[in-house]
């Protein structure tokens, strides 16, 4: 079972991954563009850290679309042969307790 701390940590890691992906010139342009677009709608680190609900339910409801789209992007990237083994592993760790 995923704990609230694991979920919070992985949501923060998800934001960090979108930041990295949107700036990575070695990635396909459409992945960078999609990452940047999602990052613009993703909850801030402060919002994730400051959410008083231990289960993060208010944030997960408010940001359901962007969290779901981010999860989908991470899964599609992991499945792509163009994804490096290091990135594939990093995304797996993020997805383990994501949303």
E-strand ranges in the chain read none
Burial (0-12, 13-18, 19+ Cβ within 10 Å), 78: middle
pTM metric for this prediction: 0.91
pLDDT tens per residue across span 12-43: 999 999 999 999 999 999 999 999 999 999 99
- Separation of alpha carbons 58 and 65, rounded Å: 13
pLDDT tier, 60 (very low <50, low <70, confident <90, very high otherwise): confident
């Amino acid at each position: 079972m995923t704990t609230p701390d694991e979920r919070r940590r992985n949501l923060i890691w998800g934001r960090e991954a979108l930041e990295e992906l949107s700036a990575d010139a070695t990635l396909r342009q459409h992945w960078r563009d999609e990452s940047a677009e999602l990052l613009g709608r993703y909850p801030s680190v402060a919002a994730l850290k400051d959410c008083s609900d231990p289960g993060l339910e208010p944030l997960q409801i408010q940001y359901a679309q962007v969290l779901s789209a981010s999860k989908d992007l991470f899964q599609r990237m992991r499945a792509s042969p163009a994804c490096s083994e290091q990135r594939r592993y990093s995304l797996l760790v993020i997805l383990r307790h994501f949303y």
